[in-house]
Amino acid sequence: MKTKFKFKKFIYALAPMAGVTDFAFREICSDFGADMVVSEMISAKALEYNNARTQKMLKENSTCIKSVQLFGHDPKAVAKVVSSGILDKFDIIDFNCGCPAKKIVGNNDGSAMMRDIEHTRQVLQALRNNTCKPISVKFRLGIDNRINFIEFGKMCEEVGVDFVTLHARTREQGYSGEVDKKAYVELINNVNIPVIWSGDISSSKDVKYAKSIGCAGVMIGREALGNPEIFAKLKHKKVNFTKKEIVLRHLNNMREYFENDDATFSYFKKHLLWYLKNYKNATELKKQVCFMQSLQEMYNFIEKNI
Ligand SMILES: Cc1cc2nc3c(=O)[nH]c(=O)nc-3n(C[C@H](O)[C@H](O)[C@H](O)COP(=O)(O)O)c2cc1C
């Protein structure tokens, strides 16, 4: 019989964020103490068809626990991708059942997977049957204003999912309002697999609360934007780098990822804007970033202003 999966310690993880948690950002968060990093959501269908851009998303160099997040509703595509070996460099395969985006839900993916639990069971069974790696599922409270996260979590456990992550908002809530703190306790009381908290974690107090109710770990998403050193801070570790050094290190990771200065420049702009969020003269500095034309200009800006 398979032994039950357990994290060796409480986990501080980087939450999966489409368009954000690419190779470069995952690596810098890992460097600053994230215990686990999760990729952007990656389409199982696109991987099945060997889409080159999608395959590039699998580049990975982090030293912590590496998780790759798949999405899709076709059990055959999931089985084919997982058994092909292309995910072998990752330690964990996560499955997205929480994305609220119209385009994704309209295609019966993401949080739409919470509508038809029996179909989702088949997809997750295909994942389970084709890998010995730990698998996890990330989901919300429910969709169409139907709250069914407990039933959904139990199904995950029955299929053999090793742990789950709850973002305690409904699909309709998107990212607004507060997470339902009671929901994490309810889920923990109803499943016998580890539960990770995702949603609104920004301080040691939040982490302490998640620990106190029995969560196996926390995921940090929006609070890590422009702030990859948050993992060290939450773990009360000293950050021995200046903000400029952090930004330059992140930018260099991005160059290594894209191997192309134009792509690096356009993708790094949003990160640079996030790095500026608490600056006194942020409005003026952000304007300068928006009007920038080249990577060299970006380096000059960082040298002068960060
Ligand atoms: C820009 C952005 C992209 C996201 N992309 C994903 C994704 O690809 N997969 C996923 O499971 N969740 C995704 N999320 C949700 C986060 O993982 C997280 O659950 C949510 O933001 C709540 O946590 P936070 O308050 O720490 O940000 C995304 C969130 C944001 C803000």
In this structure, what DSSP letter does residue 194 have? -
CA neighbor of 298 nearest in space, from 247, 242, 245: 247
pLDDT at 2 over 80: no
For 59-83, b where at least 16 C-beta lie within 10 A, e where not — what string?
Answer: ebebebbbbbbbbbbbbebbbbbbe
Residues facing 13 on adjacent strands: 36, 219
CATH architecture of 11-234: Alpha-Beta Barrel (3.20)
Q: How would residue 70 be classed by pLDDT, with cut points 50, 70 and 90?
A: very high
**1 has pLDDT over 80:** no
For a mutational test of ligand 1's pocket, the pick from 11, 14, 17, 196, i.e. the residue with the most ligand atoms closer than 8 A to its C-beta, is 17
Shortest-distance Cα residue to atom 4 of ligand 1: 17
* Ligand 1: centre distance to CA 41 (Å): 10
List strand residue ranges (DSSP E) for 126-191, in order. Answer: 135-139, 142-143, 146-147, 163-167
In this structure, which residue's CA is closest to atom 29 in ligand 1?
Answer: 17
Q: List pLDDT tens digits, range 99-132.
A: 999 999 999 999 999 999 999 999 999 999 999 9
190, two tokens? 């109803």
Q: Is the CB of 239 inside a 6 Å radius of any atom of ligand 1?
A: no
Tens of pLDDT, residue by residue over 20-51, are 999 999 999 999 999 999 999 999 999 999 99
Task: Return d(Cα 172, Cα 62) in angstroms, integer.
Answer: 34
CB 30 within 8 A of CB 62: yes
Would the CB of 110 count as within 6 Å of ligand 1? no
Q: What is the whole-number distance in angstroms between the Cα of residue 71 and the centre of ligand 1? A: 14
Nearest CA to 245 out of 304, 186, 187, 306 is that of 306
pLDDT of residue 257: 95
Could you confirm whether 97 is annotated as catalytic? no
Domain ranges of the chain: 11-234, 243-305
Query: What is the 115 CA–ligand 1 centroid distance (Å)?
Result: 20
Q: Which amino acid is at 239?
A: V
Q: How far is CA 249 from CA 40, 253, 277, in A?
A: 20, 6, 18
